[in-house]
Amino acid sequence: MTIKVGDKMPAGVFTMPGQDGPQKITTDQLFAGKKVVLFSVPGAFTPTCDARHLPGFVQHAADFKAKGVDTVAAWPSTTCSS
């Protein structure tokens, strides 16, 4: 499925870290009424990801915010590649 700019995120549930361990959060809780940049990285938590994929999003987070983005979120991929 391809999601384009301005599309509504399909309904679903994410599991993410919480204060008391993993917590469920719905796409509506995360995205409703917000402008969100969601990206995935190949080989999350690998040296290549840390050095090449993630830094650009961190460096440009303020640029996204300046364009009205409320949240910049990374979702790890289970695929490992470099």
Q: CA–CA separation, 25 vs 56, rounded Å?
A: 26
The first and second tokens of residue 79, run together, are 């695929």
Decide: residue 41, CB within 10 A, 0-12 exposed, 13-18 middle, 19+ buried. Answer: buried
Q: Is 80 part of the annotated catalytic residue set?
A: no
From the list 49, 52, 63, 76, the catalytic residue is 49
Alpha-carbon torsion, ordered 59, 22, 70, 57, to 10 deg: 20
Residues labelled catalytic: 49
